[in-house]
A and B are shown apart, each in its own frame.
Chain A
Amino acid sequence: MNYKLFLIFFVIIFLSKGFSQISINPPVIFIDNNTRTGTITVFNQSQDSKEIEISLKYGYVDTDSTGNSVLIFNDTLTEKKYSIAPYTSIYPKKFILKPNQQQDVKFMVKNVINLTDGTYWTRIITTSSDVKKQIDTSNYKDSIRLALKFKFEFITALFFQKGKLNTSINIDSIETRSDSNNVVIGFSFGKSGNSPCMGKYKISIFNSDNDKIEEISDQISIYFNSKRYFIFKKDKFKPGNYKLIITLNDDFPVIPEENKVRFKEISKSFNFSL
């Protein structure tokens, strides 16, 4: 029985069009206290009708201790303070999307008069599944049938910005560790202000001869005081002393200019040994 189940599962996985079935635009929406509404558009790029469900779930991006990005969904402590989900209504929450069609989904934020100035957020969970077909059961005899329904979740972000916004970031300390393949460097970020810090980081590592041996750069979102870990291939490192320079600025192209919460660029230097 288990064998059959797994077989069916894998067949369906390979036959389905998987991740490309719907797309959502924009990936991030910002709502301010004046308009209080935002819109996403869901496209059905597949050849089948899809059942779409929209819901909200508080969450934010962080990294785990191995340096991988993760979405934190179970932080109830910060959820109470920063989640905009309880104030947000959605329309439509559920709909059928025919092939090559699109549907706007609107979000309206209400009753936020008591919220203090700051940025609040939630994740938009867009779930796509095949439309449940009517099954003619008249010819079935007493037997057990198995029906599988795949649901694909697409996670985008909704930010609500109220009043005067500010944010700043500091890098308090670093920690390093290594295993046989990687060198992992962790940074302790201290964030203050009423909004997340969204920008771009650049980490440059120099050996004792002051030669740059490694440099990485990417977007980063820091919601709270946290540790972030970055992974480097170990083959570029030899035992010795190193200097690290990390720079953070507020360059985050996905965010519209009017929604950017600016902060002062920061650059710090640390020494470490391997």
Chain B
Amino acid sequence: MNKIKFILITFIIFNKLIFSQDNISNDYEEGIFTLKYSIFKKDINVILKNDSIYIPLFETLSFLKIYCNFNKDDNIIFGYIGNATKEYEIDLKKMIYVNFNGFRNSIKKDQYLKSETDIYFTPFIISTLLSVDVNIFYSNLVVKIISDFDLPILELEKKYNKYANLTQDEFLEDNKILPLVYERNFQIIDGGILTYNISGSQNRDNQNFNYNTNLGIQLIGGEFLYNATGGFNYQGKEFSYGHNFRWRYSFEENKYISYIFLGDVTNISTRSRSVLYSDAGYSTLRGIQISNENTIMPTVFNSFNIEGRTEPGWQVELYINNQLFAQMLSDNLGYYSFKIPVKYGNTNVELKFYGKNGEFVSKSQVINVPSEFIKPGDFKYIINAGKELYHRKYNANGSIALGITNWLTSTFQLQKVDSLNERDFVNMTSLRLFDGFIINTLYSPKNYYSGGLRLQFEDFGAYELNYTKFLYSFDILDSLSSYKMNNSQKIDFSAGLPRFFSLPFNLTLRGSKQFNNNFSFLTLNSNLGLYIKYDTL
């Protein structure tokens, strides 16, 4: 035998068994690679054939949380990335694919393999379809995806991180007790401030001298303010002077009393406008005022429920004034519900809905809480007693405002003037029918009744219309004469137009018409604002 013979002797160390590689049928081999993207990884089965690697599309899309739908009849794979606007499509009948940038390309037969459970594509197809880089590392069996933009799985992770760091402290600041810089220190008398101003003016006929001085000191644990003004007219030898003083003691964190005023006080409340129309008006008393009104304007009004319905299992995010406040998954029927704190003024609420397949919908609303509303169950009172400085009559009045519901606040005011037997009663009620739609009523049995409507829109401005029926007579003066108004009525309106189309103007219109059977007066005024902004950058 003229052939070379080889004898292969195999020595086996440790063990007698040798395992030969399985024979792989159909000239392809199943490989196990780790699919990696950002911090995420998953082991997947790939197909290796003729030195080419084929990556399972459905498993890859599922891993990346990219929506995908396979129409088996038409052999079309369709889906989108993120917010459902980035669509892609693979048509295996026409052998073309379109990525979400609109890039269209053909598919060659050797660029994909079909199995019962998945369709395997070459890295090039996956790369161009998703506009990502797909790198294969054979030594550590890794398929690495690199993307310039965040793929949904990363977006979701960031979202969950955002949820984990979610804090609602900022929205609940009224409940937050800030640390005191130092404890309250009671002093009989302590340092203060004194300011004064002396001025003189002269013209051909007159010479005037004026003075004004203010003193503020800490006195008996409270604050004492003293103001003195006066003047002297040289020609008339007239000397005028006036002064007022006020001492206030504040109570810390007391629901029933927040301060006592002694001295010259005004019967003004931060929320009640009933005094505007009462006999007392903004009158000044020398006497005492006790109240549990907030010494600073409160911020948080109350909790509101925001609820609605969307698709089941959607992620719902709630933003308050553009900051994420809370998030939840809608239930099996698609319902969601949030309890949010609402502040005085406008609270912009935005809901963002994220679908399971990357769908995105948002809607927003504005919750308006004017300052006249107070928290349900809360009450604010103010009591004044003393001698009215102008009429020199003893006067006592008081008001109490009740927060009945989120949408109803009512204020009652009673006034008794010493020399008059009758009591002056005023009621003001504020009713919020729905967001940005408020009705105010004002009723004083002896003097007037009034009703008004206020509309406030996020983008279209604020409008107010008010009607008042006066039950008493009064005089109206103009430059020429005086008119006696009996049984008169008044309509007030105002409109604050926003800056439409980002134009640098805004317009405010105000008007009123007062009339009775004999007279009619119309007052109009407008205010046009111009915004000029100059950026140096």
Contact = CB atoms under 8 A, between A and B. Distances in A.
Nearest to B9: A148
A71 B3 CA distance: 43
Contact of A37 (B5, B19, B32): B32
B19 A103 contact: no
Interface in A90-124: 90-94, 101-108
B43 A106 contact: yes
Interface string B1-42: 111111111111111011111100000011111100000000
Interface string B289-306: 000000000000000000
A41 to B, nearest CB: 8
A247 to B, nearest CB: 32
Contact of B15 (A91, A105, A125): A125
Nearest to A125: B19
Contacts of A233: none
Residue from A71, A89, A102, A127 whose CB has the most chain B CB atoms within 10 Å: A127
A89 B30 contact: yes
B141 A104 contact: yes
A270 B30 CA distance: 55
Nearest to A150: B11
B329 to A, nearest CB: 22
Given A142-B2, A149-B9, A53 B19 contact: yes
B440 interface: no
Interface residues of A, number: 44
B15 A153 contact: yes
Chain A interface main SS type: strand
B199 interface: no
B32 A153 contact: no
A55 B21 CA distance: 8
Contact of B22 (A39, A93, A152): A93
Residue from B15, B17, B29 whose CB has the most chain A CB atoms within 10 Å: B15
Contact of B12 (A91, A103, A153): A153
B19 A127 contact: yes
A137 interface: yes
B139 interface: yes
A150 B7 CA distance: 14
A94 B11 contact: no
B9 A106 contact: no
A91 B31 contact: yes
Given A146-B7, A155-B14, A155-B15, A104 B2 contact: no
B45 interface: yes
Interface residues of B, number: 32
B4 A125 contact: no
Contacts of A155: 14-15
B139 A101 contact: yes
Residue from B2, B10, B21, B32 whose CB has the most chain A CB atoms within 10 Å: B32
Interface in B162-215: none
B19 A142 contact: no
Residue from B5, B14, B140 whose CB has the most chain A CB atoms within 10 Å: B14
A93 B3 CA distance: 33
A71 B32 CA distance: 29
A202 interface: no
A108 B43 contact: yes
Given A53-B21, A125-B15, A142 B1 contact: yes
A140 interface: yes
Nearest to A152: B13
Contacts of B6: 145, 147
Contact of B4 (A35, A102, A145): A145
Interface of B: 1-15, 17-22, 29-34, 43, 45, 139-141
30 contacts: A35-B43, A36-B43, A37-B43, A39-B34, A39-B141, A54-B19, A56-B19, A89-B32, A91-B29, A103-B139, A105-B141, A106-B33, A106-B34, A106-B43, A107-B32, A125-B15, A127-B18, A127-B19, A137-B4, A140-B4, A142-B1, A144-B7, A147-B9, A148-B9, A149-B8, A150-B13, A151-B10, A151-B12, A151-B13, A151-B18
Given A149-B9, A153-B15, 20 more contacts: A9-B11, A36-B43, A37-B43, A41-B140, A53-B20, A57-B17, A57-B19, A90-B32, A91-B29, A91-B33, A91-B141, A106-B33, A106-B34, A106-B141, A108-B45, A125-B15, A143-B4, A145-B6, A147-B8, A153-B13
Interface of A: 9, 35-37, 39, 41, 53-57, 71, 73, 89-94, 101-108, 125, 127, 137, 140, 142-153, 155
